[in-house]
């Protein structure tokens, strides 16, 4: 497989695979932008809001989809999964476009979550396996740029269409249906991962899943779930509920809250490009991650220490936006591809992703009531999650810059 390291960058393949991130984040934020609107239209209770958050693309739905889709990716190939799951996504999102009752919102978000979850391990594995060894981090970073582009586009559309009310939300959902259908057509000509194809010719092409719970692999799962899981409890809550919380608590208008959240994702996208993509293949991963973790903690602690106000929230936006560009989200995609063998890579990614998203789903169920009762308590809890993520990274985070996937696997066997 050494010839992969000297090939030209297949940026087209990376972009087409990475658009799964655009679809994922776009789904989460489009729901967040519509959350307050749905509550006023249908009189949704805090419990139902939590249910929508828990079972949508932000949490449990995506987790279940990732676990099933990841296993199928390793058995059937990456291409079969990412080629067709966007059709399922388009169906689920179409239900949201035409939703006229709460049950349609819940159903649509569940289907969307399952489809998004299945696509994530397929896309992330493909990007890592097809990228040149010395630029694997850069290609993974490009997918993260797309992850942050999704919310920017969705939020700007929501802001521009805010005057249309319910129709504006439907148009935002419809644009994601169009992207999913277009992506299905464009992916038809993508090639299968050559690393995966090579594993199918080996004697033990499909090792048992129990392999992941032995030796270095189980330590990798614990490290990844710890770092990304606690960070995602903050990120998922912030991403889905930020506009709702700002409006409900009277800190900002709907337009202002959407604009501030758009600022977070825009800054993160810039940091993805200027910091993560530029340096990740050349610097110590652990040090880069820790720098991001510290900024995350400081930025979130501001909302816990000081009374909520627009200036404090703006400082929070700047710090968290920049730190997000080279932190847990970007490294989770990269490390989860590097820490496992090709035959089990997508299964492991799907398992880690499922644990993280299901945990977020459970927590999301309680967020609306907790925020309404005492936002300061919620802010301290989220700050604590970021501290735990950073501490786990301090002790566990690897640094694999420049090493091939085969070299990393050989090192694990020696260990």
For residue 204, the 8-state DSSP code is T
- Asked if 335 and 398 count as a contact pair (C-beta separation under 8 A), the reply is yes
Question: Cα–Cα distance between 96 and 94 in angstroms, integer?
Answer: 5
Query: What is the pLDDT, as a whole number, of residue 401?
Result: 79
- Asked if 35 and 243 count as a contact pair (C-beta separation under 8 A), the reply is yes
For residue 205, the 8-state DSSP code is S
HEC profile of 69-92? HHHHHHHHCHHHHHHHHHHHHHHH
Question: Cα–Cα distance between 67 and 61 in angstroms, integer?
Answer: 10
Give the Å distances, CA to CA, from 134 to 61, 342, 345, 409: 35, 18, 19, 16
Cα distance from N-terminal residue to C-terminal residue, the chain? 22
- Asked if 290 and 331 count as a contact pair (C-beta separation under 8 A), the reply is no
Residue 206's SS3 state is coil
Query: What is the pLDDT, as a whole number, of residue 6?
Result: 38
The answer to whether the Cα torsion of 69, 71, 73, 76 is positive or negative is negative
Question: Cα–Cα distance between 318 and 99 in angstroms, integer?
Answer: 35
Query: What is the pLDDT, as a whole number, of residue 245?
Result: 63
Query: What is the pLDDT, as a whole number, of residue 5?
Result: 42
Residue 253's SS3 state is coil
Domains, the chain, ranges and CATH? 12-414 (1.20.1250.20)
Q: Mind giving me the DSSP string for 142-200?
A: HHHHHHHHHHHHHHHHHHHTGGGTHHHHHHHHHHHHHHHHHHHHHHTTPPPPHHHHHHH
What are the structure tokens assigned to 74, written together?
């390793």
Instruction: Kindly report the pTM of this predicted structure.
Output: 0.87
- How far, in whole angstroms, is CA 196 from its chain's centroid? 23
Question: Cα–Cα distance between 230 and 386 in angstroms, integer?
Answer: 6
284 dihedral zone (left: phi>0; alpha: psi -120 to 50; beta) = beta
Residue with tokens 């010395």: 134
Question: Cα–Cα distance between 113 and 66 in angstroms, integer?
Answer: 9
Q: Which residues of the chain have pLDDT under 50?
A: 1-6
Give the Å distances, CA to CA, from 13 to 154, 190, 299: 24, 7, 35
Query: What is the pLDDT, as a whole number, of residue 254?
Result: 67
Number of other residues whose CB lies within 10 A of the CB of residue 315: 15
């Amino acid at each position: 497989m050494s010839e992969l390291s000297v090939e030209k960058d297949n940026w087209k393949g990376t972009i087409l695979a990475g658009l799964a991130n655009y679809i994922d984040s776009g789904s989460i934020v489009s729901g967040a932008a519509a959350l307050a609107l749905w509550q006023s239209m249908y009189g949704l209770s805090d419990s139902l809001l939590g249910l929508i958050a828990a079972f949508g693309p932000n949490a449990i739905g995506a987790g279940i989809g990732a676990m099933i889709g990841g296993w199928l990716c390793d058995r059937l190939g990456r291409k079969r999964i990412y080629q067709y799951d966007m059709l399922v996504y388009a169906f689920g999102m179409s239900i949201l476009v035409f939703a006229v009752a709460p049950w349609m919102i819940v159903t649509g978000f569940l289907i969307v979550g399952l489809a998004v979850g299945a696509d994530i391990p397929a896309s992330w594995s493909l990007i890592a396996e097809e990228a040149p060894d010395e630029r694997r981090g850069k290609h993974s970073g490009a997918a993260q740029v797309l992850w942050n582009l999704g919310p920017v586009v969705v939020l700007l559309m929501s802001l521009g269409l805010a005057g249309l009310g319910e129709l504006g939300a439907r148009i935002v959902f419809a644009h994601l249906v169009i992207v999913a259908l277009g992506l299905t057509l464009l992916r038809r000509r993508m090639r299968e991962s050559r690393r995966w194809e090579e594993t199918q010719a080996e004697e033990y092409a499909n090792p048992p899943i129990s392999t992941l719970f032995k030796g270095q692999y189980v330590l990798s799962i614990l490290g990844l779930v710890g770092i990304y899981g606690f960070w995602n409890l903050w990120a998922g809550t912030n991403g889905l509920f930020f506009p709702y919380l700002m409006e409900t608590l009277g800190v900002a208008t709907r337009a202002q809250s959407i604009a501030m959240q758009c600022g977070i994702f825009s800054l993160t996208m810039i940091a993805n490009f200027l910091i993560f993509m530029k340096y990740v293949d050349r610097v110590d991963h652990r040090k880069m991650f820790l720098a991001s973790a510290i900024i995350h903690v400081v930025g979130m602690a501001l909302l816990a220490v000081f009374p909520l106000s627009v200036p404090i929230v703006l400082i929070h936006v700047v710090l968290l936006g920049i730190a997000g560009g080279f932190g847990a989200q970007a490294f989770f995609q990269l490390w989860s591809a590097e820490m496992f063998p090709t035959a089990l890579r997508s299964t492991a990614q799907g398992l880690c992703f499922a644990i993280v998203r299901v945990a977020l789903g459970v927590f999301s169920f309680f967020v609306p009531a907790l925020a309404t009762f005492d936002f300061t308590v919620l802010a301290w809890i989220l700050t604590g999650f970021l501290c735990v993520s950073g501490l786990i990274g301090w002790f566990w985070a690897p640094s694999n810059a420049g090493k091939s996937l085969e070299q990393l696997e050989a090192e694990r066997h020696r260990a």
